[in-house]
Amino acid sequence: MAFKLAVNQSLCLDVRGGTAAGGEVLQLALCNSSTRQTFHLPPSTPATGTRGAILTKASGYTMALDVGTAAVGTLVTQRPYNVNLNSQKLKFYELRGSLYWPL
């Protein structure tokens, strides 16, 4: 799955550098269907909706998006997946047919 910007659907969320070293910042880039723009969302259930870690294909699905301290201005980075980290647990909402994920 790719994340496209609602106001400009030619821009996608992208793992800067496309590496799997950890700590890479996410950026907006022109959509190109590359592995650095491909993500795996957790399964959805009727009771809880969609929540969990977003894993990156650039890392072979071993790294997750991490919001760090979840404060205004915090950069979203790619970090090794850890099921115990709250900073990697995101909840997704559908809004008028579009998926968005508040931090």
Domain ranges of the chain: 4-94
The answer to whether 40 and 32 have CB atoms below 8 angstroms apart is no
Angstrom distance (rounded) from CA 57 to CA 67: 18
Angstrom distance (rounded) from CA 96 to CA 103: 19
User: What phi, psi does 35 have (nearest 5°)?
Assistant: -65, -30
pTM of the model: 0.75
Predicted confidence at residue 102, as pLDDT, reads 44
> CATH class for domain 4-94?
mainly beta
Q: In the chain, which residues have pLDDT < 70?
A: 44-50, 92-103
Angstrom distance (rounded) from CA 32 to CA 2: 10
Predicted confidence at residue 73, as pLDDT, reads 79
Place of tokens 């993500």: 39
User: What phi, psi does 2 have (nearest 5°)?
Assistant: -115, 155
